[in-house]
Amino acid sequence: MTDEIVRLDLQRRSRLGMVEAIWGENKTASQISKILKILDTSSELALVTRVGSKKAKSVQELIPNVKFHSQARCLTLGLPAKPQSSLGKTLILTGGTSDLEVASEAELALRWHGINAEILLDVGVAGLHRLIAQLDRIKEAKVLIVCAGMEGALPTVLAGLVPQPVIGVPVSIGYGVSSGGKVALEGMLASCAPGLVVVNIDNGYGAAMAALRILRSADFS
């Protein structure tokens, strides 16, 4: 006999300061809707990640006040937190257009927590001059999230150029040895640049929450 009570982590906002996030990939539209309804009843915010447009439509039919962000492949319930510009800006860099989904997930997750986040496209290492040309803009950010697939060298080059926290996000694009993003992940972990940190492949949301922890840490203790 299955236990029908859904145990949502409603203390999460107070404990970690984060909106409830639901990983949408391995859940049906009906399972997602059930969870969102409970949160809606408690007036909680929610972010559902990794949702395709078809599943999103099914959820929206069940809960109309849910919003779909197609480029980020996320659903949101409720309104974003009000901007906290004093915490500083996060810049999200990508090697190319193919990394855009993951970068957008990070950008949305940050914005939903009131963080100022911008995406900087097409600064891959195969044409270094494009990156060098943006160094001033890069130096203005407090935290850098760097999305890269293939050989994933971009975060390494960046972490060698600037002193900010750099969070590498391997992206599952590529083919042959790089299909699935493992090469980008391991390249970032093996980086010769000091202090580069990494999250799971395609984990834009995780990188955003890491940036959030960093931006807020100035206020701890």
Q: Are 13 and 42 in contact (CB under 8 A)?
A: no
Name the minimum Å distance from CB 94 to a copy of itself: 9
In the list 1, 53, 82, 86, the residue contacting a copy of itself (rule: CB under 8 A) is 1
Q: Measured from the CB atom, is 78 or 105 closer to a copy of itself?
A: 105
DSSP 71: T
Does residue 184 interact with a copy of itself by CB under 8 A? yes
125, two tokens:
């290492």
Q: To the nearest whole angstrom, how small is the minimum distance from the Cβ of residue 77 to a copy of itself?
A: 16
Q: Which of 74, 95, 106, 115 binds a copy of itself (CB under 8 A)?
A: 95
Cβ-based nearer residue to a copy of itself, 66 or 196? 196
Q: Which residue in 74, 75, 191, 204 binds a copy of itself (CB under 8 A)?
A: 191
- 50: which 2 tokens? 């990794």
Q: Shortest approach of a copy of itself to residue 189 CB, angstroms?
A: 4
Specify the residue for token string 């890269």: 148
Residues 11-30 binding a copy of itself (CB under 8 A) are: 11-12, 15-18, 21, 23, 25-27
Dist CA 152 CA 163 (whole Å):
19
The one segment of 38-46, 56-64, 77-85, 174-182 that binds a copy of itself by CB under 8 A? 174-182
Sign of CA dihedral 86, 76, 214, 198: negative
Site for a copy of itself in 114-143 (CB under 8 A): 117-130, 139-143
Residues 6 or more apart in contact with residue 115 via CB below 8 angstroms: 83, 84, 87, 90, 208, 211, 212, 215
The stretch among 38-46, 59-67, 78-86, 100-108 that binds a copy of itself (CB under 8 A) is 100-108
For residues 90 and 94, give the distance between their C-alpha atoms in angstroms, rounded to a whole number.
13
29-41 vs 53-62: helix crossing angle, rounded to 10: 50
